[in-house]
Amino acid sequence: MPAEMERLGRSKDRPKPKSGIVHLGLGAFFRAFGAIYIDDAVRVSGGDWGIVGVSLQSPGTRDKLAPQDFVYTTVSQDPDGGETFRRIEILETVLVAPEDPDAVLARMTDPAIRIVTLTVTEKGYCHDPASGRLNFSHPDIEHDLTHAKPRTAIGYLVRALQRRRDAGDPPFTVLTCDNLPENGKLVRGVVLDFARALDPELAGWIETEGRFPSTMVDRITPATKPEDVERLAQKIGIRDEAPVLCEPFRQWVVEDDFVPAYDGAEAYPDLAAAGVEMVADVTPFEHMKLRMLNGTHSSLAYLGYLAGHETIAETVADPVFAGFAKRLWQEEIMPSFSPPEGVNLADYADALFKRYSNPAIRHRTWQIAMDGSQKLPQRILGTIADNLAAGRASPGLMLAVAAWMRYVGGVDEKGQSIEVKDPLAGRLRGLSDAAETPAEKVAALLSVREIFSAELAAQLLEPVTHAYQELCRLGARRAAEDIT
Ligand code: CS2
């Protein structure tokens, strides 16, 4: 790449937006998703809806974006190899929280900020995935309750809301964009748990004044690799060090429940004009998406990884796993819940299969396999529990749970070690290693109460042990073939 190639920057005719949103956890997903909708809303209807991005951990994204004035490109990848580029100028700046927590709190406290959006991943809510309540023994929560400079997203939300209440200002709306069931209710619950421990009166104020709309978010965004950066530079002739890749499809469903407008500005950007479905109840959409998409994504990730497949597209190009995914949808997942009104689930499943098959999207099974302890309950275990209650068998999902257990055991089918990324990785590996037989390993992992309730664990013991034994006996591919 010639050193003199021009670096991406802000368009002369587009002044920097004034910000109305702080986003916590600025990863690729939000830059390829929420930011796009907000950019569209501003293009159509205007408003001061620029975004202050906040990285809660490392400076990497800020360091790449700052020299290009926080402008970046989205690369939407078609199945035939075509790519559509779009320049996004909606970010005002990016703050790195650990460098200066007060700067983040100051922006969140500014009444011009009406919404705080979040993509902090499942583990960022510091909750117990099985109960949905705040985990008070989480070291960062213990820290945040006793120190004014927070480390966690929850700490930032509550401390900033506290400052706004003290200043006599309205709260901001908390808009979570993470893949969790009833995500608005969940974040409200953990915020209130934290606030009650800090200052019960503050908790009362948040309870009456605060708004936490639930959302269903959907766009597949594989991690950007160095070769993607090079390819983009060659294609557009401008250097962007921080592009984000995504599939063409996107869907955002948002509960219409925001802090009312104040000071003469709108309560939220014109999301409807940008194609967001504004609804009274997001729950049926969330169940559908978490069970149909994320449930099969995780199942294919563990089984596909064990079978040696690098990406989801490669996994479903294998007819065994294509059949397995279709079986999961038709026999095990679709019967477990009621779809949103007017949605045909068979069409939804067909569309998912096409999305997974997009060969341009190199979404690694390893990436999706990450943080399974935080994902399993809402993606797979809820479906299994509903099937059990209705007397329906779930052999495919039992196999997926067993595959997760094999995966967190840390050794693949060829005896190679797996780099397991999970907040409980050490504990899960220890439990698996300390047990000898498949039955003992399954029992040990089912005893992790953050993931499996005692009741569900008792019901899973026999079928998951059977599935685990089949995995050891046949390997992931043949075990999946056997039940398809
Ligand atoms: C994936 C999701 O990484 C994962 O766990 O299942 O990120 C998935 O790609 C998105 O939810 C799609 O909307």
Nearest CA to ligand 1 atom 8: 220
The Cα–Cα gap between 402 and 470 comes to 9
Q: Of 33, 88, 47, nearest to 268 (Cα)?
A: 47
- At residue 307, φ and ψ (nearest 5 deg) are -80, 0
Ligand 1 atom closest to Cα of residue 29? 7
Q: Of 160, 43, 39, nearest to 111 (Cα)?
A: 160
Q: Which domains does the chain have, with CATH numbers?
A: 19-279 (3.40.50.720), 283-483 (1.10.1040.10)
Q: Of 176, 182, 120, nearest to 152 (Cα)?
A: 120
Q: Of 171, 170, 175, nearest to 25 (Cα)?
A: 175
**Which long-range contacts does 191-194 make (Cβ < 8 Å, 24+ apart)?**
191/154, 191/157, 191/158, 191/161, 193/133, 193/134, 193/136, 194/134, 194/141, 194/144, 194/145, 194/154, 194/155, 194/158
The Cα–Cα gap between 481 and 473 comes to 13
Q: Of 262, 230, 263, 232, nearest to 246 (Cα)?
A: 232
- Whole-number Cα distances in Å, 312 to 48, 68, 284: 39, 33, 26
Q: Of 122, 128, 116, nearest to 159 (Cα)?
A: 116
Ligand 1 atom closest to Cα of residue 379? 6
Beta strand 50-55 pairing with 215-218: unpaired
pLDDT at residue 237, rounded to an integer = 96
Ligand 1 atom closest to Cα of residue 371? 5
- Whole-number Cα distances in Å, 403 to 269, 298, 361, 386, 393: 43, 10, 24, 21, 18
Q: What is the pLDDT of residues 335-372, one digit of tens each?
A: 999 999 999 999 999 999 999 999 999 999 999 999 99
pLDDT at residue 3, rounded to an integer = 57
The Cα–Cα gap between 43 and 13 comes to 13
CA of 220 to the centre of ligand 1 (A): 6
pLDDT at residue 154, rounded to an integer = 98
**End-to-end CA separation in angstroms for the chain:** 49
Alpha helices in 309-411 (DSSP H): 312-317, 319-327, 345-357, 365-369, 372-376, 382-389, 395-408
Pocket test of ligand 1: the residue of 177, 180, 220 to mutate, having most ligand atoms within 8 Å of its CB, is 220
Contact 76, 246 (CB under 8 A): yes
Which residues does a 6 A CB cutoff place in the pocket of ligand 1?
179, 218-220, 293-294, 297, 367-368
pLDDT at residue 326, rounded to an integer = 98
Alpha helices in 210-309 (DSSP H): 226-236, 283-288, 295-306
Contact 450, 130 (CB under 8 A): yes
* ipTM for the whole complex: 0.99
pLDDT lower than 50: segments of the chain: 1
The Cα–Cα gap between 90 and 114 comes to 16
Ligand 1 atom closest to Cα of residue 294? 6
pLDDT at residue 4, rounded to an integer = 79
Q: What is the DSSP string of 15-79?
A: PPPPEEEEEES--HHHHHTHHHHHHHHHHHH--S-EEEEEESS-SHHHHHHGGGTT-EEEEEE-T
The Cα–Cα gap between 314 and 328 comes to 18
Q: Write down the residue that tokens 């341009």 correspond to.
A: 360
Hey, is 87 helix, strand or coil? Answer: strand
Cα atoms in the Cβ-side hemisphere of radius 13 Å centred on 326: 17
Strand partners, 83: 77
Q: Write down the residue that tokens 């984000």 correspond to.
A: 244
CA of 264 to the centre of ligand 1 (A): 37
Hey, is 295 helix, strand or coil? Answer: helix
CA of 256 to the centre of ligand 1 (A): 24
CA of 24 to the centre of ligand 1 (A): 18
Nearest CA to ligand 1 atom 10: 220
The Cα–Cα gap between 316 and 310 comes to 11
What's the pTM? 0.97
